[in-house]
Each structure stands twice: as C-alpha cells, then as structure tokens.
Structure 1
Amino acid sequence: MTKVFVTGATGFIGSAVVDELLQRGYQVTGLARSDRSAKQLTDKGAEAVSGSLTDLDVLAEAAKQSDGVIHLGFTNDFNHMDQAVKQDVAAIEAMGDALVGTNKPFVNTSGTLMVAFTGRPATEDDAGDPSQLRTESEVTSLNYAGQAVRATAIRLSPTVHDETRQGFGTIAASIAVNNGYSAYFGAGQNEWPSVHRLDAADLFVKAFERGVAGTVYNAAAEEGIPFKVIAETISQTVGIPLKSLAADEAKAYAGPYFGPTLQINNPTSSAKTQAALGWNPTHPTLVEDMTTFLSSPANVDHLKNN
C-alpha cells in the first residue's frame, strides 16, 4: 500500500486531502502538533507523527519512510510573512533532501497571488513574482525536480472555500461586518479566483498520482470573480450598505495588509491543469458558499466578535 506523508494534515484543506487519500486506498501519515490533532488523524484511520514544521529531523524521517509527500502546512502569520516563508523553505529542504534520487512525488503548496497583476488571466506557465515571498517556497520545491524528485506545486486560490469558511472571502466579510458596510474599490472589477476545498483536495491527489516533475498546477475552479460581486454578496446577505471607496481609503477600511489585498487583480486560468490531470471541479461556487455562511446569524455574530 502506498504511504503518503502529509503536513498540515488536520487543517482546512489538509483534512480534506487526507480524506481523499484514504478513500482512494492510500496509507496516510500526518504531521500532528498536538494530541488532539493526532487523535483526529487516528480516528480517520491515518497514522500520526508528532512534531511541527520546525522539527526538521522529524520531517526528514517521515518523508524518507514514505512513498511521497504532500506539503500543505504553513504558518499563516500575515504580520511576519518573511519568517513564515523562511520556516517553510527550511521544511521543504528537509523533506526534499530526504527524497533526492528516489523519483517519489513531492507536492508543495503555493498560491495564485504570486502571479497577480499580469494584465490577463495568469497561467501555469507564469513564473512567480520574486517580490511575493512564497515564490521562494515554490522555487525551492520545484528545484528538486532536477534531483530525481517528482516535485510539483499547487497554486491555491486565495479563496479556498466551503460553506463553513471562504478564505479571503470570510476575511472580507469580517472587515465589512465590523465596519458596518461592505466596500469595493473604484469600479470593483479586480478579480479573485476561487476553489472549493474538496475540489482542491482532489487536485492535490491527482498531482501526487500523475503530476509531471517541475510543473505548476493552478487550483482555480473559478477563473475570476469581480470583487464588487463579492462585496454585493456580503451586503445583500448580511443586510448592510454597499459602498465604493477610493483606493487611498482602503487602509482605513481594511488595515495595512488587507487594504491592498482586497484590491488585488488575480484572475487565474486552470485550463492546462484540467487538461493535464483530468481535473473537473464540481462543487459549489464561492458566492454560493458565502451566501450559505452569511445567512447564519450565528456566523455573522462570530465575525463581529473576531
């Protein structure tokens, strides 16, 4: 039985990847930072390895003992992204070095934001912008393709979603709820790609099974949703006013990080990914899941208090 080592195995996306692997008959070992996480894995029928992304010896040994790695773990500390990426690169190198010369699959996680502002829908062939910190992680992992590792990277949309949370979509809703109005910027035509977490999980497993070494795959089920549509969905569902703001008002509305982020234009094509791996997203859209989530008063109250 093929044994897969998964980091981030109890996270929002990683837990779905573990479920997909188990359903397909794989043996799964997941990295677990706590007893609770370990129990979540063992209750599913997976094995747990105790440790964190900073335990490089643990990562290396688990990778060595596996038939391949899916790396989803990441410290999402938006205030210290440079340190988060530094930690991620060290983890990638620990696992990648353990796989050198084996031709085993190593699927890494990156993001579509590193190919934003291309002036057109980004494709799998677009190189990551060096100014985007996670580009270093992607490049580090793909370099192992030249060392007999079947290294690939999945660029996740910033709005990975289901009916319980919607990535940057939920953050946008929280910002709106706490401001008392939902805003877009200018005409609101900047676009965000999206992918349902179950479609993303399917893509990770497909890349593990037959991804081509050195290749990037785009996890974008929806190529681009105008941000105005997202803001309108929040406004209409929650029942708060909708406003257009100037770009220089974004920081006061959303803060120093998310002010610019809400204005990012990141349409992303997955045409090559779908053709190469036979990936056919089938799950609900971002707007459908946001509408379901925001229709719950309890969820809206939670956004007000967090």
Structure 2
Amino acid sequence: MRVFVTGGTGVIGSAVVCELIARGHRVLGLARSDAAAARLAARGAAVMAGDIATPDTWVARLPDVDAVIHMACDFSSDMGAIERRLLDALLPALATPSGRIRFIYTGGCWLFGPTGDVVANESATLAPLPAFAWMLPHLERVLISRELHGIVVHPAMVYEAAGGVFRRFAHEACKGAAIRVVGGESVRWPLVHSHDLATLYALALDRAPARSSFIGAAIEGHPVGRIARAFARRSGKPQDPVIVSADAIAAELGEWARGYALDQRLSGTKARHDLGWQPRHLDPEAAIAADT
C-alpha cells in the first residue's frame, strides 16, 4: 500500500515506519523540519514537507494514497484546536470516488481514565483526562465517517529499554539522581514496547474492519515503582524513588502530564484475537537490566 504517516519520527512513528517498509509498503512521511526529513529518508520513506499545525499549506500537495496513519500530536495548550484544523483540511481531501481510504487514528490509554483493579477493554466508557477531552469528538468523527475506512488504535504507555515513557527515568538514573514517580509506586501503567505496537498498527492496516478500535496493551498494568527501581539498580546506585504529585508534574510539563498518575489496567485481548497480534516484549524490567 501507499501509506501517508504523520508523526513518523516520534517513538511510535519511527517504529511504525520501519515496520511498514519491512512489510513492503511505500511510506510517505510528513516532516516539519530538515532534521525530521533526514530521519524519515534514512529509514526508507519518501518525505513531504509540512506541519500538522498548518495543514492548508500542504494538504493540496498530498498525492494519491491507499491509507493514512495519524500519529502526530502537538502537546501545546492549543493541541485540540490544531487537531480540529488538521482533520477539517485532511479528511475532505481523502474522500475520493475511487474508494474509501483506510485511516488509522491514534487515541491513547489516558482516554480511559483511572481503572484501578478493573481491566478495561474497548467497550469501556471513555473518561479522558480534561487535557485530552478534545480527542473524543475527533475519534467519533473518524469512526463514523462514510468516506473513510476509519480505525482507532489506543496505545498503552509506549516504552523502549531507555526511551519512550522510560526516557525520564533513564535520564535521572544516568545523572545519579533519585528517580521521580508520579502519584506513588503502586500506580500501574499499561505498557507496550514500540516494536510490538508497530506490529499492531501494521496488522490493523491490513486486517481491521471499518469503525473498529483496538487497545495496544501488551502488559495490562505494571507498577511504576518497579520500573523506577529497575533503573536505579541498573545505575549501580539503588535508592528509593521520590514521589511527586500530579499537581507538581502538571506545573512542570503541562496539564496533560497528569496522566502519569493514572492507575490503569487495560486489555489487549481484542487485538490478539481479532488481528492475530502477538506482542513479544513482556518483561520491561529485564529489558531495562539488559540495556547496558
């Protein structure tokens, strides 16, 4: 397929681009800088200059494609308006008489709110963080579209051995500082390795029916304190994590960062059953220890 991707140089997008190319798809990536363009080209993707914040400057140049995977997000206070303007410009441009283009929209685990001991699945009523409430009408817009083959993927917390949601832990451990944990050590994060998530996007591209949603959680819920302690051990300076409040992290990073305090358990069973997804990275603490 000819696949247009946004966010193709982020943690999720980089892995997705590599997975798609490895499967023989032709990828065109949106790049808002020369550095981003170079990273996309190095992975074998074609490049189109543009920024999701200014879709009117590039949507008319978008060539014919078979599918779109939207993974970009602007974490500014204006991110909801930016997303609305993007969809207002992009979705009409994708409506063609030749057939419905497959459109994969990226949601997120923080749209499910705190689940506690309940393992939430795709049928759960969404209860997003206020900072992400703007996303709900956009999800609905994609899923009910009659012009597109709409699909939603909700990634869990996306990690790599020292990257993704683990990057801050790795940085603090490298400095020899106490690792900060938001909310408490018992807060559970649903997790998925970037490579496993990329496989899920590729499977959804090939197999997911229209109007379907999938949670990309390989691990239902892992106590964040164990992650912090694994990084402390790896640094050779094991020490107790420092607990910080959701208010403190929001003041530092923005209201969206309150998600780090959400205690969640999410199920990836539907993706396994319906799409044949088989995540392979199921022991994040072992991955942290092995990344020396």
CA deviation vs aligned residue, 1:231-286 (integer Å, no higher than 9, x gap): 321332221421575xxx53697563678544320111111121111111013632
Tell me what 1:106 maps to: 103
How far off its partner does 1:134 sit? 3.1
Structure 1 contact 114–132 (Cα < 8 Å) conserved:
no
- Name the stretch that deviates more: 202-211 or 178-187: 178-187
- 1:147 to partner: Cα distance: 2.7
- Structure 2 unaligned segments of length 5 or more: list them: none
Equivalent pairs: percent with the same residue?
26
Q: Which residue of 2 aligns with 1:276?
A: 274
Partner of 1:19: 18
- The alignment's TM-score, normalised by the length of structure 2, stands at 0.84
Question: 1:108–1:138: 8 Å Cα contact kept in structure 2?
Answer: no
Q: Does 1:203 align with 2:200?
A: yes
* Residue pair 1:7, 1:31 contacting (<8 A) in 2 also: yes
1:104 CA drift (Å): 1.6
User: 2:225 and 2:54 mapped to 1: Cα distance?
Assistant: 43
Q: Is the 8 A contact 2:229 2:239 kept in 1?
A: no
Q: Residue 65 of structure 1: SS of its match in structure 2?
A: coil
CA 1:162 to 1:62, structure 2 compared with 1: closer, same or farther past 3 Å? farther
**1:137–1:64: structure 2 CA closer, same or farther, 3 Å change rule?**
farther
- Cα RMSD, aligned residues only: 2.9
* Larger displacement relative to structure 2 (180-189 or 13-22): 180-189
**Is the 2:191–2:218 contact (alpha carbons within 8 Å) kept by the matching residues of 1?**
yes
State which drifts further: 276-285 or 255-264: 255-264
Distance in 2, Cα, partners of 1:218 & 1:70: 16
Name which of 209, 216, 229 aligns with 1:212: 209
1:1-306 equivalences in 2 (<5 Å): 2-57=1-56, 60-61=59-60, 65-75=64-74, 77=75, 80=76, 82-100=77-95, 102-119=99-116, 120-148=118-146, 149-158=148-157, 160-165=158-163, 167-174=164-171, 180-182=177-179, 188-238=185-235, 239-243=237-241, 245=243, 250=245, 254=249, 256=251, 260-283=258-281, 285-293=283-291, 295=292
Aligned residues: 284
Structure 1 position 133, deviation (Å): 3.5
Secondary structure in structure 2 of the residue aligned to 1:242: coil
Amino acid in structure 1 at the alignment position of 2:135: S
- From the superposition, tell whether residues 70 and 180 of structure 1 become closer, same or farther in structure 2 (CA, over 3 Å): same
The structure-2 alpha-carbon separation of the partners of 1:225 and 1:107, relative to structure 1 and needing over 3 Å to count, comes to same
What does the per-residue CA deviation read over 1:191-223, in whole Å, with 9 as the maximum and x for residues that have no partner?
101111111111111111121222221111111
Aligned partners of 1:162 and 1:196 also within 8 Å: yes
- Deviation of 1:28 (Å): 1.2
Inter-partner Cα distance in structure 2 for 1:34 and 1:231: 34
Question: Secondary structure of 1:269's match?
Answer: coil
Unaligned runs of 5+ in 1: 296-306
Give the CA deviation at 1:62.
Answer: 5.7
Tell me the TM-score normalized by structure 1. 0.80
Partner Cα separation in structure 2 for residue 128 and residue 207 of structure 1: 21
- 1:39 deviates by 3.1
Cα gap change, 1:55 to 1:284, in 2 (>3 Å): same
Residues 35 and 267 (structure 1 numbering): CA distance in 2 closer, same or farther, change over 3 Å? same
SS in 2 for 1:275: helix
Give me the whole-angstrom Cα distance separating, in 1, the residues matched to 2:114 and 2:29.
Answer: 36
- Cα separation, partners in 2 of 1:99 and 1:254, compared to 1, 3 Å: closer
Say if 1:64 and 1:98, in contact at 8 Å, map to a contact too. no
Q: 1:217–1:143: structure 2 CA closer, same or farther, 3 Å change rule?
A: same
**Cα pair 1:60 1:94 within 8 Å, conserved:** yes
Contact map agreement 1:203 1:219 (CA 8 A) in 2: yes
Q: What is the letter of the counterpart of residue 235 of structure 1? A: A
Aligned counterparts of 1:271 and 1:225: Cα–Cα separation in 2 = 17
Query: Which protein has the bigger helix share?
Result: 1
CA contact (8 A) 1:105 1:150 kept: yes
Separation in structure 1 between the aligned mates of residue 38 and residue 171 of structure 2, nearest angstrom = 31
